[in-house]
Amino acid sequence: MDRGLPLRPPPRPDDAPMVWNGWGEPSRRPGIGRREERVLAELLGGPLPHTPSVSLDEVAVPDVALPGPVLRRLAGIVGERHVRTGHLARVAHATGRSYTDLVRLRRGDGSSAPDAVVVPADHREVQRILEVCAEQDVAVVPFGGGTSVVGGVNPQRGRRPVVSLDVARLDGLWTLDRQSRTATFGAGTRGGDAELTLGAQGLTLGHLPQSVEHATLGGFVASRSVGQASTGYGRIDDLVLALRVATPAGSLRVGHIPASAAGPDLLRALLGSEGTLGVITEVAVAVRRAPDRRAFEAWWLPDVASGQQALRNLAQEGDAPEVARLSDEPETRVALAQQSRSARAYVRTRARRREGCLLILGWDGDRRALAQRRRVARRALRGAGGRSLGSAPGHAWAAHRFDTPYLRDDLLDRGVLVETLETAAPWSALSHVHASLRAALVGALEERGTPPQVLTHVSHLYATGASLYVTFLALAEPGAELDQWAAAKAAATRAILDAGGTITHHHGVGADHRRWLDEEVGPVGVAALRGLKDALDPTGICNPGILLPQR
């Protein structure tokens, strides 16, 4: 069986910090070749300049502001070697992995670095760290895999010293209830490791976001993550059953298996709390029998509207595949442009037309059920004017589906702005959100003289709607990359909100989306979130400035 997961556990940040210009071992890093460079230059309307970056050692971090006695108290809890104040540890915990994070680090700006990185071994140590930090008024930024693309783990330096609380040592499968199909993991367990551990037992969680090799279960929960197979397996919201959480107000356990009506669901109040209410230390999830088979298939649809309608029908009748990803015309064109001439010819021959949209589908299941479900999908897609491209392009996508983030380093080396954003909307509003968002990005970046390529796909299907995932590329404005990004981001978010989308379907709020949360949930909603925070984190030391404004 093809599990489709190139899972090579990367080095832990505790041993060697992640380098900002690479997510894993350099050996596996996919790169940009001459051919891709030529295509990009053509698409973006200009030669790609070489844009150098400083070395990791040259990233400037502020002086350590934590007083010695506090550092000693923390060391008394976790041990000397688990309180790290070295340059590399601080740089590795200064940011997540957004475009703006990379831009800042490449310039040598490590101003958001924490004063220290603390790496506790268990829930009790986390609870004690919070107690000491609350007493000493030290901010605590929970840190999982560090893959946030919205600034969720970037210390928002204010008046307080900051420690980054890395949950790397809270890892592993702690309990497995085969009869109830539930598993409890340490919150610092990486998604890929959890999947490998469960796989050895014939089980799966089925949660595979692009960050799966690095991101942790606690991070998935804290940011309301969604995996590539969410159409079949559900969001992390649907997979998580219970949590153990350390907060400045004390420890709590939330969630009852299988379900409860005992008041508001506190599990759901911790989901998406992004470290602002406390530190998740333990995550209980629902697991399933690992599927016997996994199949991928690519289709060619005449246009995005017909593809969207076919996917909607499948989702609403309960016939959707586990993975569904429909590229719009521009994304399809760029994907094809990067292929060899023979590959393009193959697609066009099978598709019997030059223009159209690429659709990738993936199924998990037993042989018989899988065959039956593929038949139903085939019927729907043929009805929509689609043509199968066979399984090869589907498997090719699956083989490289965790690679894209690695390409950003090569793109930044070549002076390319590359950013992703995402939203979700009801089926009835999806095309409108798509068009508005696209127009806003094109408008904002053309105005700056850097016309973008805006590539979108529909994915993560629900009966009631779907998400839109956008990648945009443009020539970066040397020295003004952050302004350029901010203008594009603001235009896109404005368009999303006006058209009825959400500011985020699965990246989370972090620092980047914070200013729009008010509009998303309303001032009374923000007051409710503030009430929750005041109850669990009365002095406001937990990830201050994330989700809610700092005060």
Q: Binders of a copy of itself among 447-466, rule CB under 8 A? A: 460, 462-466
Q: How far is the CB of 203 from a copy of itself (least distance, A)?
A: 11
Q: How far is the CB of 141 from a copy of itself (least distance, A)?
A: 17
Among 13, 161, 272, 291, binds a copy of itself (CB under 8 A): 272
CA atoms within 13 A on the CB side of 511: 22
Cα separation, 249 vs 539, in Å, equals 10
| Residue 204 engages a copy of itself in binding (rule: CB under 8 A) | no
User: What residues does 358 pair with on adjacent strands?
Assistant: 300
The smaller minimum CB distance to a copy of itself, of residues 161 and 275, is found at 275
- Token pair belonging to 493: 């978010």
Q: How far is the CB of 362 from a copy of itself (least distance, A)?
A: 17
Q: How far is the CB of 62 from a copy of itself (least distance, A)?
A: 29
| Residue 507 engages a copy of itself in binding (rule: CB under 8 A) | yes
| Residue 262 engages a copy of itself in binding (rule: CB under 8 A) | yes
Among 83-91, 109-117, 398-406, 527-535, which window interacts with a copy of itself (CB under 8 A)?
527-535
CA proximity to 504, closest of 206, 167, 229, 98: 98
The SS3 of residue 240 is strand
CA atoms within 13 A on the CB side of 391: 7
Q: What does each C-alpha distance from 190 to 7, 11, 324 come to in angstroms? A: 11, 11, 24
Within 461-490, which residues bind a copy of itself (CB under 8 A)?
462-467
How many Å separate Cα 197 from the centre of its chain?
A: 22
Within 143-182, which residues bind a copy of itself (CB under 8 A)?
177, 179-182
Give the number of other Cβ atoms within 10 Å of residue 250's Cβ: 12
Describe the strand order of the beta sheet including 139-143 as a list of residue ranges: 83-84, 116-118, 162-166, 139-143
DSSP alpha helix (H) spans, 293-403: 304-316, 329-337, 341-351, 367-383, 391-399
Cα separation, 249 vs 227, in Å, equals 32
Gap between the terminal Cα atoms of the chain:
52
| Residue 264 engages a copy of itself in binding (rule: CB under 8 A) | yes
Within 55-84, which residues bind a copy of itself (CB under 8 A)?
none
Cα separation, 172 vs 186, in Å, equals 6
Among 63, 159, 341, 524, binds a copy of itself (CB under 8 A): 524
CB 496 within 8 A of CB 423: yes
Binding mask 230-259 for a copy of itself (x = CB under 8 A): -----x-x---x-----x-xxxxxx-xxxx
Binding mask 407-436 for a copy of itself (x = CB under 8 A): -----------------xxxxxx-------
| Residue 269 engages a copy of itself in binding (rule: CB under 8 A) | yes
Within 274-333, which residues bind a copy of itself (CB under 8 A)?
274, 277, 286, 288-289, 312, 316-317
Cα separation, 294 vs 283, in Å, equals 27
CB 143 within 8 A of CB 162: no
Q: How far is the CB of 228 from a copy of itself (least distance, A)?
A: 15
Cα separation, 413 vs 107, in Å, equals 12
| Residue 270 engages a copy of itself in binding (rule: CB under 8 A) | yes
Q: How far is the CB of 288 from a copy of itself (least distance, A)?
A: 7
CB 245 within 8 A of CB 251: yes
* Residues 6 or more apart in contact with residue 338 via CB below 8 angstroms: 35, 36, 39
| Residue 527 engages a copy of itself in binding (rule: CB under 8 A) | yes
Size of the site for a copy of itself (CB under 8 A): 84
Cα separation, 9 vs 214, in Å, equals 8
Q: How far is the CB of 186 from a copy of itself (least distance, A)?
A: 20
The smaller minimum CB distance to a copy of itself, of residues 13 and 278, is found at 278
Among 187, 194, 217, 271, binds a copy of itself (CB under 8 A): 271
Q: How far is the CB of 205 from a copy of itself (least distance, A)?
A: 13
Q: How far is the CB of 169 from a copy of itself (least distance, A)?
A: 24
Among 105-113, 263-271, 393-401, 477-485, which window interacts with a copy of itself (CB under 8 A)?
263-271
Cα separation, 106 vs 45, in Å, equals 24
User: How would you classify the pairing of strands 116-118 and 162-166?
Assistant: parallel
Q: How far is the CB of 237 from a copy of itself (least distance, A)?
A: 7
Could you identify the residue written with the tokens 């019997």? Answer: 352
| Residue 379 engages a copy of itself in binding (rule: CB under 8 A) | no
The smaller minimum CB distance to a copy of itself, of residues 347 and 536, is found at 536
Among 36, 265, 303, 403, binds a copy of itself (CB under 8 A): 265
Q: How far is the CB of 458 from a copy of itself (least distance, A)?
A: 12
